């Protein structure tokens, strides 16, 4: 089992859809996956659409006990957004800990 960190800093729907597809594939391989949303990445759910259904991928992701989503609280607040289950407030310290403990770090 690997510990994988996926950092999303984009609002591109295809990019984020692929990030969560990869996250779900990693979970199927038995890995632990943590996704950290930063910058415009905290707006990722707004770009879900019929072709790139990010919400469906996130729903599948959240079903696993080996999966976790975290988000930059400063980035959320700077956009006047509210935290949610799929975009919870976290800190740079949390991002640091994810990077430190992960075997692989992937950015989108």
Residue 72: predicted pLDDT:
98
When divided into structural domains, the chain yields a total of 1
Q: In the structure encoding, which two tokens stand for residue 11, read together? A: 């609002």
State the CATH number of the domain containing residue 48: 3.40.1260.10
For the chain, the average pLDDT equals 97
- The model's pTM is 0.95
Q: What is the pLDDT of residues 46-95, one digit of tens each?
A: 999 999 999 999 999 999 999 999 999 999 999 999 999 999 999 999 99
- Domain range for 99: 3-107
Does an H or E element contain 73, and which?
A: helix 73-78
With bands split at pLDDT 50, 70 and 90, how would you rate the model's confidence at 100?
Answer: very high
């Amino acid at each position: 089992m690997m510990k994988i960190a996926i950092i999303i800093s984009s609002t591109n729907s295809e990019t984020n859809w692929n990030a969560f597809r990869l996250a779900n594939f990693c979970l199927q391989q038995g890995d632990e996956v943590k996704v950290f949303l930063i910058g415009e990445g905290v707006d990722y759910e707004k770009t879900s659409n019929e072709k790139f259904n990010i919400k469906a991928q996130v729903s599948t992701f959240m079903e696993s006990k080996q999966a976790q989503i975290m988000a930059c609280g400063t980035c959320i607040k700077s956009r006047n957004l509210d935290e949610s289950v799929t975009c919870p407030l976290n800190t740079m310290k949390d991002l640091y800990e994810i990077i430190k403990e992960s075997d692989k770090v992937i950015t989108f």
